[in-house]
């Protein structure tokens, strides 16, 4: 039954008129009881009324807002903040704000949820006619637009007796609204003395919009925006979702998250990557280049749950940011460009996600592009990612005419009017769509059922028993969730983040298809469930010091508490607990299970460390053989290196301190000291990576420095087996010890790293072999030819003897000396890094690109495939040394019409001619 305003107004108004100064708590209870008493079991009633706070220390009012509360929602926050009655002028302003908020929200966006809507304005004695509520017309059927006309209500005029009163009301409005939600002009005050709402009054219109989807706007960041104070919502981990956004560069991750923040009510405008004003990309290098460099976390409320979004980089140089973020995620959204499909970095991040067993949902973005092809994109997922994509939506309209999607679960269309910029959408029944669209929808609906039923036994039983006719969307959604969580399928949605089309259903899908935080928490051993947290990132703050970003796996973290680090075996003091809203950090009292928190005060905690409550818990875990509850990220080997020198000797100490902090923040940046040249060497993942490091040294740390020319990070290899022995005699105290070692070094295939084994005659305890293996590996970090690390070497310790009980350090030193002697007489080769290069180029320029690759860059072309819109894709393996400055060269060759991406593809043995040339170039002779 659709609730009508008229059915509720009389009883509520009578009570309010009789108690015009009634306490706010009583008003809340009265209205909620009226709404709930008339709604049936399946309906959701919404209530709009003014909300305010009164400071006990002064008469100044704070945080005036319009509040929308869902039936069944928590009233405690509101009741706890009850105040006294407000002056009529302020109440009048709040009512106008309600109308403006409704106009911005467009209640039509609720239609697809089958919501029964009731709107009650509570004005404490102010006549409702002043707000012209008659202009709010509800449709007879929820199949139609719920809201017929809000335009006139949004432009509601309030007549006052004098211009002085008008100016006073304008000032009241300005004081009431918080700065974040205040429009440039709340009211125009014409000479006639009539106040007219003329611009979007966001005094909490955005929070009203967010609340329309089932949560309290006083949860999470919306509360911070109003009151300046923030506390984590006390949600159970079953209502928290940690979701990461992973994709190839320029697929639209940041644009998508910016839309989500806007629709959830956290921002009053949509950030734009090109304009450099996004919330998630807040670092100056990110805004200047229009790319994500550092992963950013932010929390937003949606559909009664909390979404913790983590936006990750898409550039190959910053792939470690993705690697270290994945272990803390419950699920991921993989974005694909509808005109490009699966791209090089898409494959890389997909492999990273699968290695961590992260369930994924795919979002095909940029459906408004003239070259968009959903079917081709889905096929590329199947072929290149090796997954089973399952379409849950179909596009309505092509290219610039793209305006919505067909929901294959509910079998209706959701349409976004272009003028609303995604803020509102409405439902269209399937029978009202064109015939060809209906036919496609039925075809893909059957395909959806078949694909899911093949992976989900429960759904298969339902289909075999009663068929698809009786199958409801909720049951199908649950089956999709189970299949997605197991990794059997990947639900595919589509939309346009730039135009704000189909973003709200994507947010719903993250909750409906991906697992909540409680699933990861349930895998924590019982002994560690008092408190367990995983540190996945560190950031230096000039005021707070090193900040540790952690995922709370179980229990809760509070300020001024002690924790025990399983990895470093040390006790740490947490001085403060913060919540990260991108670059804004705000204090919270407690971070509960499933939360992403930022800890202040940890001195010896690094990326990949596990924190527990006490040494007793750590001891119990060690007895069970648990060293880390989540697998620490693997730091990839560096690709480029260069020297760094301060502009003057006075800056040397500052440079060393800055590099120490940077390398702790980013473990993929390696800082070493070359004892032969006396220079500091930086090793990183690419040109851009080292370029950003240089900028940060100058901008953030104020260190003027110069980077030397880029060099490729070669590897040295063993060409033939070699053997050596070493003997050491040392006097330690009053005892003399003699140690003898014999080792054999054997070549392995490049890419297999270094291995250490012990012969059958060597009898050692396991703890000793671990220490000795580490000593051997350390001795191979610097090869004899050019000082690059050894690669593809197998070391066998064939004999290790000593008189008496030889100290372990002496055994280690003897082994290292034997390995060094073996390297001195060994035949050494040079390995150069290979790159998997993907170039997208117009068809008429393919010849130019291929000629350049094969003739000057020693490329091995692997594939030449057809792209979308007359473009071709060239795949080739190319030595990295030949690609220095390739971006500039490719831009010159193709007039900027081509693009490329690079991924590491291992190492290749160089021939004698190439090797000699490199040795001469580096040594200078």
DSSP string, 616-634: HHHHHHHHTT-S-SSPPPP
The more confidently predicted of residues 631 and 429 is 429
**Contact of 727 with 739, CB cutoff 8 Å:** yes
Q: Which pLDDT value is given to residue 528?
A: 63
Q: Which pLDDT value is given to residue 469?
A: 64
Task: Indicate the average pLDDT of the chain.
Answer: 74
DSSP of 528-567, one letter per residue? GTTEEEEEEEEEEETTTEEEEEEEEEEE-EETTEEEEETT
What's the pLDDT tens digit per position in 474-516? 889 999 999 999 999 999 999 999 999 999 999 999 999 999 9
Predicted confidence band at 615 (pLDDT cuts at 50, 70, 90)?
confident
- β-pair partners for 729: 738
Q: Which pLDDT value is given to residue 271?
A: 86
CA-CA distance, 128 to 49, in Å (whole number)? 12
Q: How far is CA 259 from CA 252, 263, 510, in A?
A: 11, 6, 15
Neighbours of 542 (CB within 10 A): 7
The more confidently predicted of residues 29 and 456 is 456
Among left, alpha and beta (phi > 0; psi -120 to 50; other), residue 777 is alpha
Neighbours of 446 (CB within 10 A): 12
Q: Please name the helix (run of DSSP H) or strand (run of DSSP E) that holds residue 296, with its range, or none.
A: strand 296-302
Q: Which pLDDT value is given to residue 749?
A: 86
Q: Which pLDDT value is given to residue 526?
A: 64
CA-CA distance, 199 to 130, in Å (whole number)? 19
User: Rg of the Cα trace of the chain?
Assistant: 32
Q: Is the pLDDT of residue 201 over 80?
A: no
With a CB cutoff of 8 Å and minimum separation 6, the contacts of 664 are: 538, 540, 546, 606
Q: Is the pLDDT of residue 572 over 80?
A: yes
Q: Is the pLDDT of residue 741 over 70?
A: yes
CA-CA distance, 819 to 687, in Å (whole number)? 34
CA-CA distance, 188 to 898, in Å (whole number)? 51
User: What values do phi and psi take at 32, rounded to 5?
Assistant: -65, -40
Rounded mean pLDDT of 335-339?
A: 93
CA-CA distance, 1 to 530, in Å (whole number)? 47
User: What values do phi and psi take at 573, rounded to 5?
Assistant: -110, 120
CA max distance for the chain: 106
Q: Is the pLDDT of residue 162 over 70?
A: no
Q: Which two tokens stand for residue 43?
A: 């309906």
Rounded mean pLDDT of 817-841?
A: 92
With a CB cutoff of 8 Å and minimum separation 6, the contacts of 330 are: 241, 242, 243, 358, 359, 514, 515, 516, 517, 519, 520
What's the pLDDT tens digit per position in 216-271? 332 333 323 322 222 333 456 678 999 999 999 889 999 999 999 888 878 878 88
In a 13 Å sphere around the CA of 521, the CA atoms on its Cβ side amount to 26
The more confidently predicted of residues 263 and 528 is 263
Q: Which pLDDT value is given to residue 900?
A: 84
Q: Which pLDDT value is given to residue 433?
A: 87
Cα 511 from chain centroid? 15
CA-CA distance, 204 to 167, in Å (whole number)? 22
CA-CA distance, 749 to 793, in Å (whole number)? 8
Cα 225 from chain centroid? 22
- DSSP letter for 676, please: T
SS3 call for 916: helix
With a CB cutoff of 8 Å and minimum separation 6, the contacts of 477 are: 409, 512, 513
CA-CA distance, 595 to 597, in Å (whole number)? 6
Rounded mean pLDDT of 702-712?
A: 90
Q: Is the pLDDT of residue 92 over 60?
A: no
Q: Which pLDDT value is given to residue 624?
A: 72
Q: Which two tokens stand for residue 889?
A: 């060269």
The more confidently predicted of residues 364 and 883 is 364
What's the pLDDT tens digit per position in 299-334? 988 877 889 999 999 888 898 999 999 999 999 999
Predicted confidence band at 117 (pLDDT cuts at 50, 70, 90)?
very low
- β-pair partners for 111: none
Cα 28 from chain centroid? 38
Q: Is the pLDDT of residue 693 over 90?
A: yes
Q: pTM here?
A: 0.70
Sheet holding 404-407, edge to edge: 393-396, 404-407, 412-415, 426-429
Rounded mean pLDDT of 675-686?
A: 85
CA-CA distance, 879 to 22, in Å (whole number)? 78
Owner of token pair 């699920």: 331
Q: Which two tokens stand for residue 362?
A: 């795919």
Rounded mean pLDDT of 810-833?
A: 93
CA-CA distance, 696 to 690, in Å (whole number)? 10
Q: How far is CA 90 from CA 63, 93, 200, in A?
A: 12, 5, 18
CA-CA distance, 326 to 349, in Å (whole number)? 10
Q: Which pLDDT value is given to residue 344?
A: 83
Q: Is the pLDDT of residue 685 over 50?
A: yes
Kindly provide the b/e burial profile for residues 840-857, where b requires at least 16 CB atoms within 10 angstroms of the residue's own CB.
bbbeebbeebbebbeeeb
**Contact of 504 with 425, CB cutoff 8 Å:** yes
Q: Which two tokens stand for residue 661?
A: 């902090």
Predicted confidence band at 601 (pLDDT cuts at 50, 70, 90)?
very high
The more confidently predicted of residues 142 and 600 is 600
Closest CA to 72 of 18, 120, 115, 13: 115
């Amino acid at each position: 039954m659709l609730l009508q305003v008229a059915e509720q107004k009389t009883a509520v108004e009578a009570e309010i008129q009789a108690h015009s100064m009634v306490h706010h708590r009583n008003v809340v209870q009265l209205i909620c009881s009226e709404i709930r008493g008339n709604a049936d079991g399946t309906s959701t009633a919404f209530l709009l009324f003014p909300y305010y706070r009164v400071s006990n220390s002064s008469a100044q009012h704070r945080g005036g807002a319009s509040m929308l509360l869902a039936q069944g929602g928590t009233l405690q926050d509101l009741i706890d903040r009850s105040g006294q009655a407000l002056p009529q002028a302020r109440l009048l302003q709040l009512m106008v704000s309600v109308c403006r908020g409704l106009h911005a929200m467009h209640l039509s966006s609720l239609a697809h949820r089958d919501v029964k809507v009731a709107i009650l304005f509570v004005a404490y004695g102010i006549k409702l006619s002043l707000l012209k509520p008659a202009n709010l017309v509800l449709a007879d059927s929820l199949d139609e637009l719920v809201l017929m006309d809000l335009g006139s209500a949004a432009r509601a005029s309030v007549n006052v007796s004098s211009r002085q009163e008008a100016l006073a009301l304008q000032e009241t409005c300005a004081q009431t609204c918080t700065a974040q939600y205040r429009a440039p002009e709340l009211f125009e005050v014409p000479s006639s003395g009539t106040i007219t709402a003329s611009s979007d009054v966001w005094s909490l219109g955005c929070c009203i919009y967010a609340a329309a989807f089932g949560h309290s706007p006083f949860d999470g960041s919306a509360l911070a925006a109003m009151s300046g104070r923030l506390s984590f919502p006390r949600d159970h981990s079953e209502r928290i979702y940690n979701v990461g956004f992973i994709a190839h560069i320029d697929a639209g991750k940041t644009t998508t998250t910016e839309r989500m923040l806007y629709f959830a009510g956290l921002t009053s405008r949509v950030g734009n990557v090109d304009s450099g004003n996004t919330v998630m990309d807040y670092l100056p290098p990110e805004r200047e280049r229009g790319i994500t460099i550092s992963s950013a976390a932010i929390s937003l409320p949606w559909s009664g749950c909390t979404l913790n979004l983590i936006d990750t980089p898409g550039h190959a140089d910053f792939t470690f940011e993705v690697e270290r973020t994945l272990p803390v995620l419950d699920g991921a959204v993989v974005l694909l460009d509808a005109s490009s499909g699966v791209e090089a970095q898409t494959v890389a991040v997909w492999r990273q996600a699968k290695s961590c067993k992260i369930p994924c949902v795919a979002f095909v973005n940029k459906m408004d592009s003239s070259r968009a092809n959903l079917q081709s994109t889905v096929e590329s997922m199947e072929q290149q990612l090796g997954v089973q994509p399952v379409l849950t939506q179909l596009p309505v309209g092509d290219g610039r005419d793209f305006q919505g999607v067909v929901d294959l679960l509910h079998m209706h269309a959701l349409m976004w009017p272009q003028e609303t910029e995604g803020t509102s959408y409405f439902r269209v029944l399937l029978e009202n769509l064109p015939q060809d669209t209906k036919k496609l929808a039925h075809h893909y609906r059957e395909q959806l059922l078949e694909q899911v039923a093949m992976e989900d036994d429960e759904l298969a039983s339902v289909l075999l028993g009663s068929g698809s006719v009786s199958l409801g969307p909720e049951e199908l959604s649950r089956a999709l969730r189970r299949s997605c969580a197991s990794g059997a399928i990947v639900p595919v949605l589509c939309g346009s983040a730039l135009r704000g089309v189909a973003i709200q259903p994507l947010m719903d899908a993250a909750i409906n298809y991906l697992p909540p935080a409680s699933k990861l928490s349930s895998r924590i051993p019982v002994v560690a469930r008092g408190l367990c947290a995983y540190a996945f990132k560190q950031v230096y703050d000039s005021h707070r010091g090193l900040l540790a970003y952690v995922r709370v796996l179980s229990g809760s973290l509070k300020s001024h508490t002690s924790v025990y680090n399983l990895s470093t075996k040390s006790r740490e003091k947490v001085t403060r607990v913060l919540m990260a809203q991108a670059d804004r950090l705000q204090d919270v009292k407690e971070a509960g299970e499933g939360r992403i928190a930022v800890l202040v005060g940890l001195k010896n905690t690094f990326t990949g460390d596990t924190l527990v409550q006490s040494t007793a818990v750590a001891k119990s875990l060690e007895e069970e053989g648990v060293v880390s509850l989540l697998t620490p990220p693997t730091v990839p080997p560096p690709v480029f290196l260069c020297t760094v020198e301060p502009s003057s000797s006075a800056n040397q100490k500052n440079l060393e301190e800055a590099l120490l902090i940077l390398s702790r923040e980013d473990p993929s940046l390696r800082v070493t000291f070359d004892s032969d040249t006396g220079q500091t060497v930086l090793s990183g993942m690419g040109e851009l990576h080292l370029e950003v490091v240089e900028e940060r040294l100058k901008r953030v740390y104020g260190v003027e420095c110069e980077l030397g020319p880029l060099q490729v990070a070669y590897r040295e290899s063993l060409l033939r087996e070699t053997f050596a022995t070493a003997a050491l005699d040392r006097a330690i105290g009053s005892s003399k010890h003699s140690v003898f070692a014999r080792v054999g070094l054997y070549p392995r295939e490049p890419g297999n790293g270094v291995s250490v084994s012990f012969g059958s005659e060597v009898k050692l305890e396991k703890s000793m072999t671990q220490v000795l293996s580490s000593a051997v590996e350390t001795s191979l970090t610097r090869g004899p030819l050019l000082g690059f690390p050894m690669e593809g070497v197998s070391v066998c310790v064939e004999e290790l003897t000593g008189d008496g009980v030889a100290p372990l350090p002496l055994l280690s030193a003897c082994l290292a000396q034997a390995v060094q002697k073996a390297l001195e007489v060994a035949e050494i080769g040079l390995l150069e890094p290979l790159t998997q290069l993907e170039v997208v180029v117009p068809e008429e320029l393919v010849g130019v690109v291929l000629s350049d690759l094969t003739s000057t860059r020693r490329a091995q072309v692997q594939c030449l495939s057809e792209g979308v819109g007359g473009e071709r894709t060239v795949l080739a393996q190319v030595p990295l040394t030949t690609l220095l400055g390739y971006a500039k060269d490719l831009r010159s060759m193709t007039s900027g019409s081509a693009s490329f991406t690079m991924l590491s593809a291992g190492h290749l043995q160089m021939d004698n001619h190439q090797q000699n040339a490199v040795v001469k170039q580096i040594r200078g002779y």
